[in-house]
Amino acid sequence: MALAHQDPDVYDLIERERARQRDGIELVPSENHVSRAVLEATGSVLIDKYSEGYPGRRYYGGNEIVDEVENLARHRARVLFGVPHANVQPYSGSPANLAVYLATCEPGEAVMGLNLPDGGHLTHGWKVSATGIYYRSVPYHVRPDGYIDLDEVRRLAREHRPRLIWCGATAYVRELPFAQFAEIADEVGAYVAADVAHIAGLIVGGAHPSPTSHAHIITTTTHKTLRGPRGAMILVTDRGLTKNPGLAEKIDRAVFPGLQGGPHDHTTAAIAVALGEAMQPEFRTYAAQVVANAKALGAALMGRGFRLVTGGTDNHMVVVDLTPDGIGRGGFLQEALDAVGITVNKNTIPGEPSSAFYPSGIRLGTPAATTRGMREPEMAQLAGWIAQVHDEVRAFQLPAEREARSQVLRQLREVIAQSAGLAAIRDDVRALCRRFPVPGIG
């Protein structure tokens, strides 16, 4: 029975989400729109199968075809990234990163990653993550100009002799210095893991330098700039196998049985489809346009008076520093932009003066808008709308007293709901979206 008849409640929710995506613009850097082929693979009969183990070594019968699916995904990953080993079973990026710890570190050993408020990820050793609880986290930071402080990375590495150093980020807008991290890791005998979840599509599309000749291990999600399903991969490089010939086997054992049971075979198939799409010449055009759009969006925002972290971008995202108008206001602008159909995410900035819940910046990315076919003129248009929306809520400030914040938020939401200016922008956003339909859903 079709979903609309079997469960109209869930069907209605999905249709509402479809309409939200169709009639709005996703500027969250970690989001994208997949192709209809990826959607079809994700919703295929492979969802019915159980396949603990690896190709040729399963704990269930009937996996001959599943083995072919997984081998195809692994082959395409190896070819795209130029690596000898790929594991495509991790359920998402965080379990993939945890598997790297299990394969390379003992509990209590020192690990290094970029400080979360400076643009790092929870799984790079942040204090509330399991990676910061079970391992001795030594975070490094960015300089006042927003670039990674490589002098600090070297000093901390020499002092703490970490077992693992992460080179990767979730809100870092410049090229990642893979070669310098490899040099530092070699000096102290550490593994260097490149977490390229945000920029994997840019790497295979030739729009960002690759870590393959520098890192021992590469982790990535398969959504974001790769335009695949919500999954992840762990790649072991030739350099990694030179350091430890058993590293690929250690990674595989860390994923299964160390952390997971059966892989999600429908997701594996969709990963294979997305990787196949990334092998096509047009994907390189897409990756280049993502970066061009981000640069254009950043330049247009600066032209409207906004301050950007590092003053620009080398990749798919920009981070806007809103502190010239007050601290802790990222959420205010996020809510106002939501009302006009432009989806962003509030985000901390380096040296965050407020908190992660009330951060002082917003993070914007161009992968999804570029997938819809938008280019530099549309980025200028988006920057203009963002500036207009910001003007509507510029007067709202985050009170220092926690008790007063709920009242300010109520007032903010009343202004947003009643603003004729925001309503007009919402109509303009819908009109733009009609010109650039979402692939796969129309």
Query: Cα–Cα distance between 296 and 365 in angstroms, integer?
Result: 11
Q: What is the DSSP string of 3-22?
A: HHHH-HHHHHHHHHHHHHHH
195 is catalytic: yes
Among 50, 54, 134, 147, which one carries the catalytic annotation? 50
Taking the mean position of all CA atoms in its chain, how far away is CA 114? 15
Among 74, 224, 329, 363, which one carries the catalytic annotation? 224
Query: Cα–Cα distance between 422 and 425 in angstroms, integer?
Result: 5
The residue to which tokens 């939401």 are assigned: 413
366 is catalytic: no
Among 78, 143, 230, 405, which one carries the catalytic annotation? 230
Among 118, 195, 352, 378, which one carries the catalytic annotation? 195
Taken as a whole, the chain contains a residue count of 442
Across 95-243, the runs of DSSP E, i.e. the strands, are 110-114, 136-140, 164-168, 191-195, 217-221, 232-236
Among 31, 52, 175, 183, which one carries the catalytic annotation? 52
304 is catalytic: no
Across 2-76, the runs of DSSP E, i.e. the strands, are 25-26, 53-54, 57-58
49 is catalytic: no
Query: Cα–Cα distance between 417 and 297 in angstroms, integer?
Result: 27
**Environment class of residue 87 by beta-carbon count within 10 Å: exposed (0-12), middle (13-18) or buried (19+)?**
buried
State the number of CA atoms in the 13 A half-sphere of 149 facing the CB: 19
Q: Which residues are catalytic?
A: 50, 52, 195, 221, 224, 230
